[in-house]
Chains A and B, each alone.
Chain A
Amino acid sequence: MSRQYGSKSTLEGRKASVSGELFTLTYGALVAQLVRDYESDDEINKQLDKMGYNIGVRLIEDFLARSPEVGRCHDLKTTADILTKQGFKTFLGIVPVIANWSPKGDEFSLILESNPLTDFVELPDDHPNLLYSNIICGVIRGALEMVQLDVEVWFVQDTLKGDDTAEIRVRFKKKLEDAVPAGED
């Protein structure tokens, strides 16, 4: 069995490995299926977040494996920078703008000027609360949890709902620690 990425070790080298449109359509089909399977928008949003989380906890390893220069972050500003300029850029091809820091510096927004997930999407009228791209929130939460950052992530604005931009809010909750081995301390 030959590995798809075997010879392309850098992030740059595999940019074109899957067509963007195929990805967008696949995601669309997935959300549409969820809409059929679940009753409430809240439940769909939750499912998307959960899926995203499961992707995030794996995706972070792929990201770190290919970006050996990225070490552990020691402040939220650096984390936000790497998340947007490297994470988003690598996997979605966009660089969200970081804005609206809370005075305490524990919360910020990601402003998505474009969102490849929503390229061809019009929300059905009977799903006013559906957060179509909610999977992104889950991915961020899962990925950051793996690097010991417990965060809350949610959509504040969404272009699909008539807002001017898409805005994702990230709130730092706490720093996680390695498990203390049983019987120690």
Chain B
Amino acid sequence: MVAYNLYIFDRNCSCLFYRQWAKVKECGISPEEERKLLYGMVYSLKSLLSRLSPVSTRDGFIGYSTDKYKLHIYETPTGTKFILNTDHKAGDLQEMLQHIYTKIYVEYVIKNPHYKLGTTIDSQLFVKELDNYIQSKPFFTK
């Protein structure tokens, strides 16, 4: 299986982080526009799913799949969104994203006093830990 890329958004629509592990298709727009499009889509899907939920008004959005890829999203109560794209065979990766949040993002980004909230994450330590973690997963292929 393949992990393509990971996005981290805060709740103000800024993309704090992007990391890519496999070649991805060009989508013909600038990275900024692509991120805006992704955030907008996730935002709309969130409200759509909570409105259409037959079960609960606070149903959360956890992802979607197509015939080729799967988008996984994990949202913290603070509104930070972790979005991971994999191939469509991947299973439920909520726990993995939660691990990235609790053990890598909080430890190496939030607790880094030099990091200003809401800005782009450029900590090399964070990238290294994230890469190690993703690459340790059995499904990771280069």
Residues on A close to B: CB < 8 A? 1, 3, 5, 9, 57-58, 60-62, 64-66, 68, 70-72, 74, 146-148, 178-184
Contact = CB atoms under 8 A, between A and B. Distances in A.
Contacts of B110: 58, 61-62
A179 B101 CA distance: 21
A66 B76 CA distance: 12
Contacts of B125: 1
Contact of A180 (B43, B79, B98): B43
A178 B79 contact: yes
Interface residues of B, number: 25
Contacts of A3: 107
Contacts of B132: none
Contacts of A5: 107
A28 to B, nearest CB: 20
Interface of B: 11-13, 36, 39-40, 43-44, 58, 76-80, 98, 101-103, 105-107, 110-111, 117, 125
Contacts of B77: 64, 70-72, 147
B12 A179 contact: yes
A178 B11 contact: yes
A54 B141 CA distance: 39
A8 B77 CA distance: 23
Nearest to B42: A181
Contact of A74 (B44, B58, B107): B58
Top 7 A-B pairs ranked by shortest CB distance? Answer: A65-B102, A181-B40, A65-B106, A146-B78, A179-B13, A179-B12, A72-B77
A183 B40 contact: yes
B39 A148 contact: no
Given A64-B78, A147-B77, 19 more contacts: A5-B107, A9-B103, A57-B117, A60-B78, A61-B76, A61-B80, A61-B110, A65-B101, A71-B77, A74-B58, A146-B78, A178-B79, A179-B12, A179-B13, A180-B43, A181-B39, A181-B43, A184-B40, A184-B43
24 contacts: A3-B107, A5-B107, A9-B103, A61-B78, A61-B105, A61-B106, A61-B110, A62-B111, A65-B106, A66-B102, A68-B98, A68-B102, A71-B77, A72-B58, A146-B78, A147-B78, A148-B11, A148-B79, A178-B79, A181-B36, A182-B13, A183-B36, A184-B43, A184-B44
A61 B8 CA distance: 14
A57 B103 CA distance: 17
B118 to A, nearest CB: 9
Nearest to B81: A178
Contacts of B106: 61-62, 65
Nearest to B101: A65
A146 B77 CA distance: 8
A183 B13 CA distance: 12
